Structure 1
Amino acid sequence: MEAREIVDQLGEQMVALEHAPNDRECLNTVFRGFHTIKGGAGFLDFPGMVAVCHAVEDRFDLARNGATPMDSTAFDGAQQALDLLVDMLDCIAAGDALPDPPAALIDSMRVQAAPIAGEPLTAAAGAGDDLDDLDFEALLDSLHGSGGIPGITATAGGPSGHEPPAPPTPSPTPAITPSPPAPAPAAPANPRKAQAAAAHDEPTVRVDVRRLDAMVNLVGELVLARNRLKTLRPRLHDEELDRAVGALDGATSRLQSAVMMARMQPVGRVFARFPKLARDVARQLQKNVELVVVGAETELDRNLVEALADPLVHLVRNAIDHGIESPQTRRETGKPEQGQVRLSAQQEGDHVVIEVRDDGAGIDPDRIRDIAVRKGLIDADAAARLPSDECLQLLFLPGFSTRAEVSDLSGRGVGMDVVQSRIRELSGQVQIQSEPGHGSRFVIRVPLTLAILPTLLVEIEADVYALPLVRVVEVLAHLPGTPMSIDGQDVIDLRREPLPLLDMRQWLGLASAPLALGERTVVVLQTGEQRFCLAVDRVRGREEVVIKALPRTVRGLPGYAGASLIGDGRMSLILDVDALYQTGVRGSRRLKQSLS
């Protein structure tokens, strides 16, 4: 796991170094990353991985001592080596044999390093610099041989993968006279090194993820017990019991927050892999693209962090492939040759907003409409009545693609469909905004955690249903005005905004309510860019629920996202707001045009 984290960070760091090749601190950081992986690989006896890391170190040493700065060929080789390390780590995780490192890659890195063989080792520290940890490691490498670790022989990745690399032609090496040790300084000369050392001194402990998951489950059971006590408390009229339940409520909330924080991880763990991804895709498409990452320190539940990786890969690749124009096209339209993709994250209340924005060509809604009709994904008459903003939602239809031919990057019509499906599985939503000629913006909203969900409980007869609180816009004590019917769909005018109205009783197939429709409570919900109203019998109030798997009787039915036990001990079904809108609101896509 630690090696995987280092590799992810190396991808981001090497892209940063490629933009600022004279940044010695960044160069040393990258060198240290490869050196750390090499040390672990040598300890665990993975000679092929040692050989790859050592070859990269040889080339980076040329840049560190000022002999030969890093160029595009060197960066390409280092990126190929990083890709190979990723494959090797995948093999180790799967228990498979490691692939032999390509001899051509190893040789290409070492051929450039051969000219410095035999140069004074003190040159590696740079003029006027003290010998740092990396230079001391390089000194040990020179004393112990090219493998870098005593007793371990690095391989060059030949046909058998067990032959040691041929050392460069030796030249006379000047004698090294060790200087007497200097007294320890009162304060470190490099403040950044001091900060790093202080960070390493902070007490930390590695905990098995399964233990954290077990703690979350136990806290969930405690939350259910607390909710049960809070429900029973008003009936007992005991002042001492009220104080005890109040204390338990506060302690449970603090414990829940502490356990949730233990599972939180910065989204930077996922964001770190995207600078390298953007670089590789841009070079493949011969485009000039800068990826800007903002808010990498924003924290999410670890399960959500990992689950967001695939949707974000699709969005970033699509932004570069479909959004950013070629350098020539950008010049002709008066834009700078280098396009920009911005990946950002920020917390808003009890959910996190992640945005992928580009300054490319934008999305033409008319073209999207025509492609959807041509591919048979939507009826021509229905497509003609779609407003421009809702045409963008057609991108999420399975099988939709703007590519006429299938390529390695796109054309199969599964990318955006995967994005929306995965985000919905995370109880989130994704929205699209675009302006032709000026770029596009994809916004993902997900809850901070999936373990415990804030909800609004509503009642239909004796049954209780839970609506994710993040989707609730407002609650109306009664229906405002008289509903109109357009294309068979009820619509109400809420402050001069026409909104579709869904009667929950009708959606469930129940008989008419004892109360008239106008006297029932209405919940205004958000799905994508559209809002709609849901008529219910009563609103019970807000409650945090623990998400459980659906009962078999309703598993697979649209409109249900999960289940939970509520405070009075009954089962409550958690409603899928997007599915409610899609299955219960008919003709809603035409409402804006029909009422305008």
Structure 2
Amino acid sequence: MDGLDDIVEEFLVESHENLDQLDTDLVALEQEPDSRERLSSIFRTIHTIKGTSGFLAFHRLEEVTHIGENMLSRLRDGALDLTPQRTDALLEMVDCVRSLLASIEANGGEGNVDVSAVVAAISAAMEDQPAATAPAPVEPAAEVTVAPKPARSRKAAARPAAAVASPAAAPTPRKAPARKAPAAKAAAAAVPVAEALVPSPAVPVPAPIAEVPAPVSPVLPSPRSEPIVESAESDGAPAAEGAGGQTRRAVADSTIRVDVDLLDELMLLVGELVLTRNQIVQYVGRSNDTDLLRASQRLNLIASELQEGVMKTRMQPIDHIWSKLPRVVRDLGMQCGKSVRLEMEGRETELDKTLLEAVKDPLTHLVRNSVDHGIEAPATRTGAGKAAEGVLTLRAKHESGQVVVEVADDGAGIDPARIGAKAVERGLVSPDALSRMSPQDVLQLIFLPGFSTAAAVTNVSGRGVGMDVVKTNIESIGGTIEVESVPGRGTVCRLRIPLTLAIVPALTVECAGDRYAIPQISLQELVALDAEKAATAVEEVGGAPVYRLRGELLPLVRLTDVLGLTSDRHDGHVVIAVLRSEGRRFGLVVDRVINTEEIVVKAVGGQLKAIGLYSGATVLGDGAVALILDVQALARRALRTETTDRQDAREGAALASASETERQRMLLASIGGGRRVAIPLDTVTRLEQVRTESVERVGNREVVQYRGAILPIVRLDRHLGAYGESDREVLEVIVYSDHGRSVAIVVEEILDIVDGEAAVRSDIDDLGLLGSAVLGDKVTELLDVRAAILAADPAFYSAPLPTTPAGVPAPLLEV
């Protein structure tokens, strides 16, 4: 169906099915002409085809079905009696509709199919006029595949209309002849054969063609579901042939309807097959039988392909639920007095049908929330320099074995200060806890039960239910939700959803002698540390273990601590599974990694579910049962502990150094976004300028060659989340050196050197800061210099600089 619109293709499929049933119903109606139920069924079918054809602008198809609908309506209401002439007229209508559909499928339009004869025949039948008063026009034989039909009599029991019915139709008393292709050369070949076999051109061609003996069959046209009665010359190249000259399958033959319950049952069987496959593969892996190994590899390949094929049968484009959202946005926009344009990207992205149904309500709620809370009124938008019309964008894509769905608006954004104040007001969080939260943590408060910023309760929002349900529903299917927002610019809600819930790839790990499965959708990487490196690389911040992974602080959770068990590994080695949840990363420390395999997810009982650490269970290849860890629950535990303890540690460090700060002279620097930082002058060795083009990379870290050494760089704007100008040709650099090691701290501009003794201080801080102070009549952030230096060079304070054999310090960067 190259080039056909999806709507037209679906219309053709359904119409062909309806026409096959119509053939059966019309013939059966002759046996029981008083059956109102059968008449009503025929009427509804023709009415459906008529309505859709009008919508798709197929005017001739609409015309012929409209006149047929009129007759059926009068027959149904008892105004007319069913006579042989009227039955013939209705069957001719079915033939004509079939020809029109064949032309639409082959050429994308109705071609030159003439419907006037059929319209005249039906009109005459309704008025009880002789059928001969509306003869079909005779066209040149060279331009048609099917010879012109005279008015049919009751005698023609092997009705040509029935003769061209698809063999797929339900059994009828009429004889189904061979089907014909619409190609021009097929038409040219078919007519001469027909003329050679029949004594008179007045006899309809289709019936004789159906009885052509086998020796003549090579000159007949290729089989085709529907005949086309228009000239191929007038409508372009033959549409019946595909690549290589082979007959293309008709649209009616390219789809099949299957009950969803049957697909679910098939999926369960495939799941059991996967489990058995895993067991056989593990068993054969311990065997030395080459033939058995080869057979198991073949089984593995076939099972994987079968699993993929069955999963595809359950996949549906996300547009199935998106298609309802334009109306939601339009109605809600009018209700709120806002002008909103909805844009969609990735409508063809496919998702498992079960997950598609599960995500429908959460997605609808996020869209309503964006229109109601996110996008401003037109007057407000124009006052802020925006277009009066707001833009709401839906995006969907496949990424790392999952589907990522974004709901983004260009509205007012979310103000963390307002969110925090409302959460405190509603008693959802204490002021002390709020003061220790980062802005990203504050945004997550919108998912707390009972949270709402609406000023009044309306039929749209304000009751404090919704976002918590959204998060619960998404997590119940193994997904996550993240929120990003920039005040004044807009908000993005990002859903990460697994492709399917039935069979998922997983990492099998061991802890205290037991095995557990971690869905790979949440796994980013594995880090293995030997005993020597683990002793120095794993640090303690506020009593919580952390690991610096490529300069980023990674909070650690020991699975043994979570489960209340004792590790059976005593060699000092540490294995970290780096996981991602809700936009944050953390490390799960396990005893050892076993392998990766596809697992079949099984539900767990209420007692295990209530623990809150397991999302399911599975049977491993050796027959052992393993629990599937709930990564979201582990993340909440890890990040909550890390955030609280780390913030408390920073507060203690800030208070301990308060008197020291008063006596220090401070270097003021801007880092972009209107933010200023203060850096103790005794941590400044030199001030330099470095050209941007001289910055190079080692792995994921930036370095610069400076005075015969390689200096690691930390950009304060990125380190502190300010993100200043990125197109500057010259970088302002603060160099700090100690014990033969140096780092380069990049700022936007050096402002001044001030005395910090009389500064008005505050413990209001954020990640990477020790607090804030009023310096030069402006609030200035106090930089945590140690954290910034460690971000550039994690080994800066832990080891002296290695030397070369000649005793000269080696380059400063450890790779």
Q: TM-score, with normalisation over the residues of structure 1?
A: 0.71
Question: CA shift at 1:307, angstroms?
Answer: 1.0
Aligned: 1:497 with 2:552: yes
Q: In the alignment, what sits opposite 1:532?
A: 586
**For the structure 1 residues 305 and 497, does the alpha-carbon distance in structure 2 shift closer, same or farther, using more than 3 Å as the test?**
same
The C-alpha deviation readout for 1:137-188, integer Å capped at 9, x for no partner, is 33445x349xx685269xxxxxxxxxxxxxxxxxxxxx99978476513167
Measure, in 2, the Cα distance between the counterparts of 1:302 and 1:149. 43
Amino acid at match of 1:494: L
Answer yes or no: is 1:414 the counterpart of 2:469.
Answer: no
Report Cα offsets for 1:78-123 as digits up to 9, x if no partner: xxxxxxxxxxxxxxxxxxxxxxxxxxxxxxxxxxxxxxxxxxxxxx
Distance in 2 (CA, whole Å) between partners of 1:199 and 1:372 is 61
Q: After superposition, give the CA deviation of every residue in 1:485-517 in whole Å (9 maximum; x if it has no partner).
A: 33442222222211111011111111254425x
Offset at 1:349?
3.5
Does residue 186 in structure 1 map to residue 186 in structure 2? no
- In the other structure, the counterpart of 2:601 is 547
Correspondence for 1:264 among 305, 315, 320? 315
Structure with bigger strand share is 2
- SS in structure 1 at match of 2:611: coil
Q: 1:553 to 1:224 in 2, by over 3 A?
A: same
Q: Structure 1 CA distance, aligned partners of 2:460 and 2:560?
A: 46
SS of 2:587 mapped into structure 1: strand
2:561 to 499, 503, 506: 506
Contact 1:344–1:354 (8 Å) recurs in 2: yes
The amino acid of 1:466's aligned partner reads A
Aligned partners of 1:247, 1:327: CA distance in 2, in Å?
Answer: 63
Matched to 2:538, the amino acid is: P
Kept after mapping to 2: 8 A contact 1:325/1:360: yes
The 8 Å contact of residues 40 and 76 in structure 2, kept in 1 or not, is answered as: no
* Distance change in 2, residues 1:190/1:498 (3 Å): farther
Residue in structure 1 matched with residue 212 of structure 2 by the alignment: none
Provide the residue aligned with 2:76 in structure 1.
Answer: 151
| In the alignment, structure 1 residue 241 sits paired with structure 2 residue 296 | no
Cα distance, 1:361–1:151 mapped onto 2, change above 3 Å: same
- Whole-Å Cα distance in 1 between the matches of residues 400 and 445 of structure 2? 30
Structure 1 residues 198 and 380: alpha-carbon distance in aligned structure 2, compared to 1, 3 A threshold: farther
Q: Which moved more, 1:227-236 or 1:416-425?
A: 227-236
**Of 477, 496, 503, the match for 1:445:** 496
**Partner deviation per Cα, 1:198-254 (whole Å, 9 max, x = no partner):** 873342211111111111111111111111112222322211211111111111111
Match of 1:430 among 472, 481, 490: 481
Contact 2:613/2:629 (<8 A) preserved: yes
CA contact (8 A) 1:266 1:297 kept: yes
User: Shift of the alpha carbon at 1:327?
Assistant: 1.4
Contact 1:551 1:563 survives alignment (8 Å): no
Q: Does 1:559 align with 2:610?
A: no
Structure richer in helix, relative to its length: 1
Q: Which amino acid aligns with 2:620?
A: I
Following the alignment from structure 1 to structure 2, what is the Cα–Cα distance between the partners of residues 543 and 441?
A: 34
Residue in 2 aligned with 1:394? 445
RMSD (Å), alpha carbons: 3.7
**Residues 482 and 267 of structure 1, relative CA distance in 2, 3 Å threshold:** same
Is residue 519 of structure 2 the alignment partner of residue 468 of structure 1? yes
Which residue does 2:541 correspond to in 1?
486
1:360–1:437 contact (8 Å) kept in structure 2: yes
User: Corresponding residue for 1:156?
Assistant: none
2:604 aligns to what SS in structure 1?
Answer: coil
Match of 1:207 in 2: 258
User: Which 5+ residue runs of structure 1 have no aligned equivalent?
Assistant: 1-8, 14-24, 65-124, 154-174
The structure-2 alpha-carbon separation of the partners of 1:453 and 1:150, relative to structure 1 and needing over 3 Å to count, comes to farther
Corresponding residue for residue 574 of structure 2: 520
Provide the C-alpha distance between the structure 2 equivalents of 1:456 and 1:152, rounded to a whole number of angstroms. 67
Residue in 1 aligned with 2:784? none
Quote how far apart the aligned CAs of 1:588 are: 2.7
* Residues 374 and 43 of structure 1: CA distance in aligned 2, closer, same or farther (over 3 Å): farther
Give 2:76's aligned amino acid.
Answer: G
Which range moved further: 496-505 or 547-556?
A: 547-556
Matched residues in 2 for 1:236 and 1:337: separation? 71
Alpha-carbon contact 1:548-1:562 (below 8 Å) kept: yes
1:133 CA displacement = 1.3
Which shifted more, 310-319 or 273-282? 273-282
Distance 1:333 1:227, change over 3 A: same
Q: Deviations over 1:284-303 (max 9, x none)?
A: 11211111122121111111
Indicate the SS of the match to 2:282. Answer: helix
The alignment partner of 1:561 has SS state of: strand
Contact kept, 8 Å, 1:456 with 1:469, in 2: the verdict is: yes
Contact 2:409 2:490 in 1 (8 A): yes
From the superposition, tell whether residues 514 and 341 of structure 1 become closer, same or farther in structure 2 (CA, over 3 Å): same
After superposition, the Cα gap between the structure-2 partners of 1:416 and 1:339, relative to the gap in structure 1 and judged at 3 Å, is same
Q: What is the Cα deviation at residue 551 of structure 1?
A: 4.1
SS at match of 2:298: helix
Higher relative contact order (Cα pairs below 8 Å, separated by 6+ residues)? 1
Deviation at 1:355, TM superposition (A): 1.1
Q: Which amino acid aligns with 2:62?
A: L
Flag the structure with larger Rg. Answer: 2
Counterpart-to-counterpart distance in 2, 1:343 and 1:425: 22
Alpha-carbon separation, structure 1, partners of 2:463 and 2:39: 42
Unaligned runs of 5+ in 2: 23-35, 79-122, 125-132, 145-229, 242-247, 648-765, 770-815
The amino acid of 2:561's aligned partner reads Q
Amino acid across the alignment from 1:222: L
* CA spacing shift, 1:206–1:515, aligned 2, 3 Å: same
Deviation per CA, 1:387-411: give whole Å up to 9, x if none: 1122111111111111122111111
Amino acid at match of 1:134: E
State which of 48, 54, 62 in structure 2 corresponds to 1:134.
62
- DSSP-derived class of the 1:525 partner: strand
What is the distance in 2 between the residues matched to 1:395 and 1:405?
A: 17
1:187 to 1:296, Cα distance in 2 relative to 1, 3 A? farther
State the number of aligned residues: 469
- State the SS of the aligned residue for 1:232: helix
- C-alpha distance in 2 between matches for 1:187 and 1:314: 54
Shift of 1:446: 1.0
Q: Distance in 2 between matches of 1:186 and 1:320?
A: 52
Residue 90 (structure 2) aligns with: none
Q: What is the rounded CA distance, in whole Å, between the counterparts of 1:272 and 1:198 in structure 2?
A: 29
Cα pair distance change 1:429/1:539, threshold 3 Å: same
**C-alpha deviation, 1:428, in angstroms:** 1.0
| 1:582 counterpart residue number | 636
Whole-Å separation in 2 of the counterparts to 1:347 and 1:450: 16
The offset of 1:131, in angstroms, is 4.2
| Inter-CA distance 448–512: structure 2 relative to 1 (3 Å threshold) | closer
Equivalent position of 1:370 in the other structure: 421
Matched residue type, 1:185: S
- In structure 1, the residue matched to 2:510 is 459
TM-score, normalised to structure 2, is 0.53
Structure 2 residue aligned with 1:275: 326
Determine helix, strand or coil for the equivalent of 1:556. Answer: helix
2:347 is aligned, of 292, 296, 306, to 296
Number of the residue aligned with 1:323:
374
The verdict on how the C-alpha distance between 1:294 and 1:43 changes in structure 2, with shifts beyond 3 A counting, is farther
